[in-house]
Each structure stands twice: as structure tokens, then as C-alpha cells.
Amino acid sequence: MSLRRANLRMVGKLVVVTAGMFAFGYALVPLYNAICEMTGINVLSLSERQVPGVASQATPGNTQVDLSRTITVEFDANTRGPWEFKPAVRSLQVHPGELATVMYEFQNVQDRRMAAQAIPSYTPRQAAAHFNKLECFCFTQYTLDPGEKKQWPVAFIIDPKLSRDVTTITLSYTFFEVGGKTPPAPDSAAAAAHDNKEFRS
């Protein structure tokens, strides 16, 4: 009987402790708010309201974009096979740190299904380390049915750390059929000259 009484007493103490912990947790939020209101250190909600003594300001823009510089990005397309491949635009003017997107168009003009992929190159070569592609179709294999046409985006950001001597970058893609001999990376300077010649003609 004494053992049963001891167990009941222990259960009663545990219930009281549990209820006390629940009440403390429930009261903690208003208690925290009251302390923060008195001391003015409510850092969790500081960004949601005006900071005392500071005039309200508009949300600042992206400070990583270098508006003092403009870089011309030229787009080149080369093919190794009887199909059509070209950029939607020949060039873009971008600021370092600015997100830009260009579309590339591809069409399988053959009467058979084909699998192909692209490899990129850059001119000048030093630009490669600073040309950050966030979305790209390069190095991915695609299968297209006869006559099928596709568009793929290239989203990129040029690192502001790129040398100020570089004012023009050429992004060149070579599209080739998978299963054949993989072509070497194109000579972007020669490709760009050839592309400009075609563009003027």
C-alpha cells in the first residue's frame, strides 16, 4: 500500500512539473515581447519596422552590379552537320554582375532522329573564368526528331572581377552529333570573324 501511495505521489509531482513547464513556455512569448519593448532590442522584428532615428529608405538595389562598366557579349554558333543552330541575338550589352539571358535556336532539318550536344569556348580566354553560366544547354545531350525545333536559354553573369581591359567577350558554341567524332573547341576569334562576314553579307 505504501508503494502505491509513493507511486501516486510521484505521478502527481510529474503532472505538476509538466503543467508548470507548459505554463512557462506559454508565458515566454508575451514576456519576451514585454522585455524587448522596454529595452528596445527587438532585433528579430527590426527589419519589419522603421529603425528609430533613421528615415525610411527604399530597398537598395543589387550593389554587385558594376554600372560604371559595359561589356559587349557576342554570341557565335557553329555546327558540325546538316542542321540549323543560331543565337536569337548577335550581341548584348551587359554590366558586370548583371544577370542576362540569351536564347539559342536549333532545328533538326534532316529526315532522321539525331542526338547532339554543344561545347562552349570564350574569347579572350581569360574571360572563361569570369563568365558564370547559371543555365546552359552545353554538355547535355539532346535528341530531336526530324524537323523538330528547340530553343534553349543561356543565363549568365560576368564577374565584376574581370579585368577592365576586357570590353568584349565572344561566347562561341559548336553543336555536333553524338556518336561522331567530337570536334575540338572552336577558334572563337576566327569563328567570330566568319560570323561577322556572314552577318554583313
In a domain, 185, yes or no: no
Tell me the C-alpha distance between 124 and 150, whole Å: 29
In a domain, 61, yes or no: no
Domain encompassing residue 100: 71-179+195-200
Burial degree of 44 (CB within 10 A; 0-12, 13-18, 19+): exposed
CATH number at residue 93: 2.60.370.10
In a domain, 188, yes or no: no
Tens of pLDDT, residue by residue over 59-98, are: 344 558 889 999 999 999 988 777 888 999 999 999 999 9
* Most confident of the following: 32-41, 57-66, 129-138, 173-182: 129-138
In the chain, the number of structural domains is 2
Tens of pLDDT, residue by residue over 29-69, are: 566 556 545 544 444 443 334 444 444 444 344 558 889 99
Claim to verify: residue 119 and residue 88 sit in the same structural domain:
yes
**H or E segment at 114?**
strand 114-123
All three cell numbers of 72, joined, read 559587349
In a domain, 28, yes or no: yes
In a domain, 187, yes or no: no
